Amino acid sequence: MTFAILRQQGRRRPFRGVMDDAVFWAPLKSDVRDHVEQRDGSFTRASNAWFRKGNHLFEVGSGVPRFEAKGLLFEPAATNICRQSNALGTSPWAVTNASVTQDQTGPDGTTSAWTIDDSDTTVSSFPYHCGNLYGNETVANDSSRYVASVFMRKKPAPVSVFPVFGITIQNGTTEIIGLASFNPYTGDIQAASGTGWTPNPAYDTAWVEDYGDWWRVSLSVANNSSGNTLLRPRFYPSYSSTLGGAPNAALTGSQVAWQFDIVAARTPSSPITTAASSVTRAVDALSWPTRPSGFDANAGFCLADFEFIGPTSIYASDTVNGIFSISSAKESLMRLIANYSGGGTSRCVLENDTGGTNPAYDFGSANGPIRGVTRWDGSVMQAGSDAGSGFGWSATEVYAGHPDNNQCHIGQGVIVPIWIKNVRLFNRDASTSEIEGLYAL
């Protein structure tokens, strides 16, 4: 899809009467108007995708950008391996001492949500015998990490029955039991009780997102190369009488759920609807030409505002989360990136075309909003960021230089979801005080 990117040079921008000399300025909002000269930006994504508008979800076609409240959404490609992701009465789904009925309005505004009901009072301390819904998926015997997600309708009042959601990865020497106890009234979450399970339930990271009338609950677990090849998503509508409490099969109750996702990733993906087979949502990408003014390899700086979802674990390869880059070849980039390395912290760093990185101001596990900066003067480069607690800069790093080619990229090489609100590029040097002043606007 082609849409307008605002571009200006030495003109008065019609926001707060500010004058600057940005080579281009991309506010990345769906309602931008032609206040200044336009350049055509090219957005691509070779698949449909879901996005959030307010507290509702909508599916858009391939190549349609997803503008959300946080900014323009960029995601890496992801595959939902959970078949029949919202057809819970269809194989490979099955129930034990429970029933499923598609009779509720889902977050997409249609009658697409399911009542999962446990009215069975069979008494057993073994959790498999609590009323539950489960699926069956085949996975590799390796150490892959999976993130499981489900939408669960909020309860309007305090509850005395608590559901459990998660995945088990089975049939190996040491099974993986990743189950979370959840409060559908408050949104609180913790590991489920381990009565009857070996080993005890545990997960690495959990996310709870507020969608108005709905919670989206996600959790991350990793396989362990011990022979586990059967992955089962599991949902217990009435597991225990306290949050994190012991399972009690005599309890009864129901929950309303919509759309199960299981992706081999570090973070949750936007929903990906499946039928009889797994489905892949393609990567988001935005680029546009820089000519005639281009990119000055000798001196300049770039500013960007963004938010992101932090990953569950740190890997040496998790160093490319592209926010802004200039290149004709995607392998030769100047990137302002969110880099995940060292002690589980998230850092704003700069990466040049030689692959060197240098940590900037450490904003810990904060997901945003974040203001990132990169600047260069022909021999050195430096990154900085502000996560709301003050502006900080990295030490300088040798600048290898970049060709003045004809493509700008936003969201190039992302490894976790990122929302980008604006990007500004300046073909000149700037002092720290000037940059901080621009960011104060």
- Mark whether 125 and 16 lie in a shared domain: no
CATH number of domain containing 100: 2.60.120.260
Total tally of structural domains belonging to the chain? 2
pLDDT at 324: 77
Choose among 4, 1, 52, 57: nearest CA to 28. Answer: 4
Q: Are 409 and 284 in contact (CB under 8 A)?
A: no
Residue count (the chain):
441
- Mark whether 297 and 411 lie in a shared domain: yes
Burial class of residue 360 (count of CB atoms within 10 Å of its CB; 0-12, 13-18, 19+):
buried
- Mark whether 147 and 275 lie in a shared domain: yes
Chain segment 321-355, per-residue pLDDT in tens: 577 777 654 444 566 665 544 444 555 566 655 55
- Mark whether 344 and 243 lie in a shared domain: no
Rounded to an integer, what distance in angstroms lies between the CA atom of residue 326 and that of residue 346?
23
- Mark whether 226 and 171 lie in a shared domain: yes
Distance of CA 437 to the CA centre of its chain: 30
- Mark whether 213 and 259 lie in a shared domain: yes
- Mark whether 205 and 298 lie in a shared domain: no
Question: Across all residues in the chain, what is the average pLDDT?
Answer: 80
How many Cα atoms sit within 13 Å of 117 on the Cβ side?
Answer: 8
Rounded to an integer, what distance in angstroms lies between the CA atom of residue 159 and that of residue 156?
9
Residue that is last in its domain, among 238, 259, 279: 279
Identify the sign of the CA torsion 5, 309, 76, 280: negative
- Mark whether 99 and 62 lie in a shared domain: no
Residue that is last in its domain, among 279, 307, 335: 279
- Mark whether 72 and 98 lie in a shared domain: no
Q: Are 253 and 130 in contact (CB under 8 A)?
A: no
| Domain extent for 119 | 79-279
pLDDT at 402: 64
Q: Are 349 and 360 in contact (CB under 8 A)?
A: yes
pLDDT at 309: 78
Chain segment 408-417, per-residue pLDDT in tens: 778 877 778 8
- Name the β-bridge partners of 157: none
Chain segment 410-437, per-residue pLDDT in tens: 887 777 888 888 787 788 888 888 887 8
pLDDT at 291 over 60: no
Residue indicated by tokens 């892959």: 144
Report the range of poorest mean pLDDT among 102-111, 130-139, 181-190, 358-367: 358-367
Rounded to an integer, what distance in angstroms lies between the CA atom of residue 335 and that of residue 349?
8
| Peptide bond connecting 199 to the previous residue in cis, omega within 30 degrees of 0 | yes
- In this structure, which amino acid lies at residue 59? E
CATH number of domain containing 28: 2.60.120
Q: Are 148 and 219 in contact (CB under 8 A)?
A: yes
- Angstrom CA distances, 369 to 192, 389, 396, stand at 32, 11, 24
pLDDT at 329: 47
Rounded to an integer, what distance in angstroms lies between the CA atom of residue 408 and that of residue 130?
55
Choose among 258, 284, 283: nearest CA to 271. Answer: 258
Choose among 378, 382, 377: nearest CA to 358. Answer: 382
Rounded to an integer, what distance in angstroms lies between the CA atom of residue 325 and that of residue 336?
7
- Mark whether 28 and 96 lie in a shared domain: no
Chain segment 206-261, per-residue pLDDT in tens: 899 999 999 999 999 999 999 999 999 999 999 999 999 989 888 999 999 999 99
Beta strands in 29-75 (DSSP E): 38-44, 49-53, 56-60, 67-68, 71-74
Which two structure tokens, joined as six digits, stand for 24? 């281009």
> Which helix (DSSP H) or strand (DSSP E) does residue 305 occupy?
strand 300-308
- Mark whether 22 and 152 lie in a shared domain: no
Residue that is last in its domain, among 279, 295, 316: 279
- Mark whether 265 and 326 lie in a shared domain: no
DSSP per position, 346-379: EEEEEE-TT--EEEEEE-TT----EEEEEEE-SS
Choose among 261, 338, 286: nearest CA to 81. Answer: 261
Chain segment 35-83, per-residue pLDDT in tens: 333 455 678 899 999 999 888 999 999 998 898 888 889 999 999 999 9
pLDDT at 364 over 60: no
- In this structure, which amino acid lies at residue 95? V
> What value does the mean pLDDT take over residues 402-407?
61
